[in-house]
Amino acid sequence: MHTTNSNAVDPLAELRVPHIRREDVDSAEWQARVDLAAAHRIIDIYGWTNLIYNHATLRVPGQPDFFLVKPHNLLFNEVKASNLLKLRIDGKMTTEAENVNTAGFTIHTAVLQARSDLNSTVHVHTEVGMAMSAHDKGLLPINQGAMRFYNRLSYHAYEGMSKDLDERESIASDLGPSNKAMIMYNHGLLTGGSTMVEALTSMLYLITSCRTQLLLEATGSPIRIPSPEICEHAALQWEAIANFGTRDEWPAYLRMADRVDTSYRD
C-alpha cells in the first residue's frame, strides 16, 4: 500500500497540474474530489484506460455549474483529489493548451449541461467497447447484465473527434431525457449517473455486456433472447438495485482502490 514520504519529490510537480489543499474548498467539494480520484484509480485497475485519454467527471456538490475533471496530461493512476481541475460546465471551450482534453470537455459538458439529474459521467475507449461501437445491430439483451440497458441505451453517430462544441447539441439529443448510457458509434462508450458509483457501475456492466455478446457471436451459435416482457422486468429490477449502490458498491470500490494505492486521497 502507498505510504506518503513528506521528503519525497513530487513526480507531478512539472506537469502543470493544480495543487488544491483540503482547506481551500468546502467539505462537500473535497469529498467529491476524493470520489472522482478514486474512480480514476478503479478505471485503471479494471484496465479501461487509454494512456492519458478517456475521461470521468463529477459535478461539484452545491455548485451545479461546475465540474471536476483530470488534467489532460495525467495518467489515471496519477489522479489525486488535490490535482483535479474545476471548470464551468457552460464556460468557453477549454483545450489541451490549458491542459484539458478538448474532446472530453465537449462530451462531458454536453451531458452535464443537458441533464441536471446526472452528476457524473464516464467515457472510455476499451477494445470491446470500440468493437461494439461499430456493431450494426448494437447491444442485445442476451444476459442479465445486458438487460440493465434494455430500451435504456442511446446511440450517437460519429462526427469525427469531438473537438467542436456544436456536437454537444447532438450528443444531448441522442442521449435523450432519461437514458444514462450511450454507445458512441465508431468511437466508444459513455455512461452517466446521479452519483459517481452509478456511472462507474453502469460502465462496468456495459463493458461486460459488450464483451459477452462479442464472445457469443464469435462462436456462431444461435442467440437466445428472452421475451420483451422479461427483459423489461429485469431492467426494472436493475433500477431498484441501483438505489443501493452508494451503500453497498461504493465502499467495495474504495477497498479495491485502497489496496493498490491510497494516494488518490491526497
Tell me, what's the pLDDT at 12?
A: 66
Q: Is there a domain that residue 244 lies in?
A: yes
**What residues have CB less than 8 Å from 118, skipping those under 6 apart?**
111, 112, 180, 192, 193, 194, 199
Q: Is there a domain that residue 119 lies in?
A: yes
Q: Is there a domain that residue 134 lies in?
A: yes
Show the domain range for 32.
22-258
Q: Is there a domain that residue 10 lies in?
A: no
Question: 15: helix, coil or strand?
Answer: coil
Tell me, what's the pLDDT at 241?
A: 86
Q: Is there a domain that residue 144 lies in?
A: yes
Tell me, what's the pLDDT at 162?
A: 72
Distance CA 36, CA 184 (A): 23
Q: Write out pLDDT tens, residues 138-174.
A: 999 999 999 999 999 999 999 877 767 778 899 999 9
Name the stretches of the chain with pLDDT < 50. Answer: 3-4, 6
Number of domains into which the chain is organized: 1
Q: Is there a domain that residue 85 lies in?
A: yes
**What residues have CB less than 8 Å from 62, skipping those under 6 apart?**
26, 28, 29
Crossing angle between the packed helical segments 250-260 and 196-219, to the nearest 10 degrees: 80
Tell me, what's the pLDDT at 35?
A: 97
Tell me, what's the pLDDT at 101?
A: 81
Q: Which amino acid is at 114?
A: A
Distance CA 257, CA 264 (A): 8
Provide the terminal-to-terminal Cα distance of the chain, rounded to the nearest Å.
14
What pTM did the predictor assign? Answer: 0.91
Torsion angle defined by CA atoms of residues 152, 56, 138 and 141, in that order, rounded to the nearest 10 degrees? -50
Q: Is there a domain that residue 14 lies in?
A: no
Tell me, what's the pLDDT at 171?
A: 94
Q: Is there a domain that residue 9 lies in?
A: no
Domain with 88 in it: what CATH number? 3.40.225.10
